[in-house]
A and B are shown apart, each in its own frame.
Chain A
Amino acid sequence: MLAKRIIPCLDIKDGRTVKGINFVGLRDAGDPVELAKKYSQTGADELVFLDITATHEKRDTLRELVRQIARHLDIPFTVGGGVRSVEDVAMLLEAGADKIAINSAAFRNPQLINDLAKRFGSQCIVLAIDAKQEAGEWIVYLSGGRTRTEKTLFEWAKEAQDLGAGEILFTSMNHDGTKQGFANDALRQLSEQLQIPIIASGGAGTMPHFKDAFEQGQVDAALAASIFHFGEINIPDLKAYLHQQQIPIRL
């Protein structure tokens, strides 16, 4: 039976992990390769690396980092952050990434999803969507939540699926950072409306929150950052808990 996936997300700046990571037993918690290995050894099912570097030297730094990660990591990993073109994706996949997360650039140019799916296959295209619930409507935001659009989460997710996206990574801006649980109602609607896998992001604070995302939200995977980085929840405990709660999980 297909297991539900637990995915730690690492923010990368200038080739280093940022956002204060406090992982016991690491020589250097800022080294993404060390951290990636640590997570894979403790049972992470996949990793997401989000590059938040703003400089123009970005491409080379990121390519070298992806190469290093690919050399050492024996589980799948996704790379995202500022991916704009077929060339960006070709470079990251060539360096060894398994999947690419795209967000704002795909919204501004939906044809990009189609071009990427045709060239590289849907399986490596993860469409990331940030959305905020306003007066009952889930509105898509771009550029890390700075730019409001007129499109709803459900419209955009369906359109992206039809263009060839292989998975949807939905972050609820209302839930992100609150540690009050995932946006399970919206996640369930997404899951019911789409045929492709859904990754929940934003709001994880406790182990039952993951169970709720899988059961109520009906998602295929759940992503979190700080609660893993700060050791508030460690992945072996989380997976043992989920297994005990009858959620299919890889132990």
Chain B
Amino acid sequence: MNIAIIQYNAGNIRSVSHALERLGVQPVITDDLAIIQAADKVIFPGVGEASSAMKYLHKKGLASLIPQLTQPVLGICLGMQLMSSYSEEGNTKCLGIFAQKVKLFPPSSRYKVPHVGWNTIQQLNGALFNGIPEQVYFYFVHSYYLEIGKFTTAKTSHIIPFSAAIQKANFFATQFHPEKSGDWGHNILKNFLDL
């Protein structure tokens, strides 16, 4: 199986690669449009800042390629946020795969921002969550969130409820980091590889 991990100016790409290696798959980390297009599956990971990431994706031609991919695509964290239509982070127009907005968590006296740590997810739907029980913990680290909408396939809450995962056709995405979420995260990645 050919797995392409999209390389761009975001961090933590290697940790996704390591997680796949632990599943017995050797992915290729690349920004080459032809290799990405030809891959069986594509992972769009990332920790970073939205506006500089989008600039880079435009420069490399990835911004027009990613929405046109037809194989299963998995966005993670910033990757998921960039698949939305717009992010408040840097006032950024994003890829527009999901007609949903990314917003900064509102100020709260009770909860901390960034949302860092292990949080439970609920109301799970779709193939990514096969065999995953409700209310198990996944690792999150982010300050912006995707609203709940018709694409939401898992919910969680921090200050307000938001999308822990979304899906539309072949596009899957998680706000949490399956590659850093122990055994359950491992299962999510395996479910993606099994699609």
Chain A residues with CB under 8 Å of chain B are 1-5, 40, 45, 70-72, 74-76, 93-96, 98, 118, 120-124, 166-167, 195-198, 220-221, 250
Contacts and interface: CB of A to CB of B under 8 A. Distances in A.
A94 to B, nearest CB: 7
A-B CB proximity, top 9 nearest: A250-B137, A250-B118, A3-B118, A197-B112, A123-B141, A2-B119, A76-B180, A96-B14, A123-B114
Contact of B47 (A72, A95, A121, A195): A121
Given A95-B14, A167-B116, A220-B112, 6 more contacts: A2-B119, A3-B119, A70-B14, A76-B180, A98-B15, A123-B141
Interface in B89-128: 107, 111-120
Interface centre among B11, B47, B113, B140 (most CB of A within 10 A): B11
16 contacts: A2-B118, A2-B119, A3-B117, A3-B137, A45-B118, A74-B180, A74-B186, A75-B180, A94-B14, A96-B14, A121-B11, A123-B143, A166-B116, A167-B116, A221-B117, A250-B137
A71 B16 CA distance: 10
B151 interface: no
Contacts of A76: 139, 141, 177, 180
B18 A98 contact: no
Contacts of B15: 70, 96, 98
Given A196-B114, A197-B114, A250-B118, A121 B18 contact: no
Contact of A5 (B115, B117, B120, B180): B117
Contacts of B111: 2
Interface in B40-71: 47-49
A124 B77 CA distance: 14
B19 interface: yes
B59 to A, nearest CB: 18
Nearest to B112: A197
A116 to B, nearest CB: 12
B181 interface: yes
Contacts of A250: 118, 137
A105 B185 CA distance: 35
Contacts, number: 93
B11 A196 contact: no
Nearest to B114: A123
Contacts of B107: 195
B180 A122 contact: no
Report whether over half of chain B's contact residues are helix, strand or loop; otherwise say mixed.
Answer: mixed
A2 B114 CA distance: 12
Contacts of B158: 2
A123 B142 contact: yes
Which of A70, A98, A118 is packed against the most chain B CB atoms within 10 Å? A98
Given A2-B158, A76-B139, A123 B119 contact: no
Contact of B117 (A2, A72, A94, A195): A2
A2 to B, nearest CB: 5
A94 B142 CA distance: 19
A1 B120 contact: yes
A73 B111 CA distance: 28
Contacts of A122: 114, 143
Nearest to A96: B14
A190 to B, nearest CB: 11
Given A2-B158, A121-B49, A123-B143, A70 B18 contact: yes
A120 B21 CA distance: 25
B114 A71 contact: no
B30 interface: no
B47 A123 contact: yes
A70 B14 CA distance: 8
B116 A1 contact: no
Contacts of A95: 14
A167 B47 CA distance: 16
B179 A74 contact: yes
Nearest to A118: B49
A158 to B, nearest CB: 14
B13 to A, nearest CB: 10
